[in-house]
A and B are shown apart, each in its own frame.
Chain A
Amino acid sequence: AQTVTQSQPEMSVQEAETVTLSCTYDTSESNYYLFWYKQPPSRQMILVIRQEAYKQQNATENRFSVNFQKAAKSFSLKISDSQLGDTAMYFCAFMKHVQSGYALNFGKGTSLLVTP
């Protein structure tokens, strides 16, 4: 089974500091995609960053970057210079094949609170 585990239900960080959210996954596939989504209090799901498994270089989007360790099946999200607007639930997701296509398998999420 393809599972996604986020072991940190809640985290807190001060404004301008750096925080790392953990994610591990389990798959037997060799090529796949991983994602981090952000869900602020508005509950709109927003794509933060994506990583293709065949690419060794870690993805980066402005203040957001990932540490992708394929052998360890680890996919952590680092947020630098945290801002109050980063307060949200963060979901790690794994692309999985389904019967006639593909879908996303989500972890249970990490609630991040950025404090002044």
Chain B
Amino acid sequence: SQTIHQWPATLVQPVGSPLSLECTVEGTSNPNLYWYRQAAGRGLQLLFYSVGIGQISSEVPQNLSASRPQDRQFILSSKKLLLSDSGFYLCAWSVVGQRTSYEQYFGPGTRLTVT
């Protein structure tokens, strides 16, 4: 069976500090990978998605970046955090192929507080 991991679970960082959030998927190959952000009391906003190693697309311009160094690893980074970067970050994966029904499966999330 497939599982998705995210770490850390909780993070408190000062403004201007760097950020690295990691997501890994087990039990599947060549998944599509996604980073979403959920601000307090709001829905999910797509930040980045990846269809393969080294292939990253951004939906929303920001001071965040993403990388996919391995097939099942997706990393969200920032060189200098802003207060507005606070939120709940969710990683998700989906099946690629003709039989896909497009649903996505989510990790447990990382709660980021920028102080």
Contacts and interface: CB of A to CB of B under 8 A. Distances in A.
B90 interface: yes
Q: Please tell me the size bucket of the interface on B.
A: 20 to 34
A104 B46 contact: yes
Interface residues of A, number: 25
A103 B88 CA distance: 18
Contact of B109 (A35, A37, A43, A95): A43
Contacts of B92: 45
Nearest to B34: A103
Contacts, number: 59
Contacts of A42: 108
Could you tell me the dominant secondary structure of chain B's interface residues? strand
B49 A98 contact: yes
B33 to A, nearest CB: 10
Contact of B103 (A35, A43, A107, A109): A35
Contact of B51 (A44, A45, A50, A101): A101
Given A44-B108, A101-B49, A33 B101 contact: yes
A52 B51 contact: no
A106 interface: yes
Nearest to A111: B41
Given A91-B44, A98-B57, A98-B59, A103 B49 contact: yes
Contacts of A44: 106, 108-109
A33 B32 contact: no
Q: Which 4 A-B pairs have the closest CB atoms?
A: A45-B106, A106-B43, A95-B102, A108-B43
Interface of B: 32, 34, 42-44, 46, 49, 51, 55, 57, 59, 88, 90, 92, 101-106, 108-109, 111
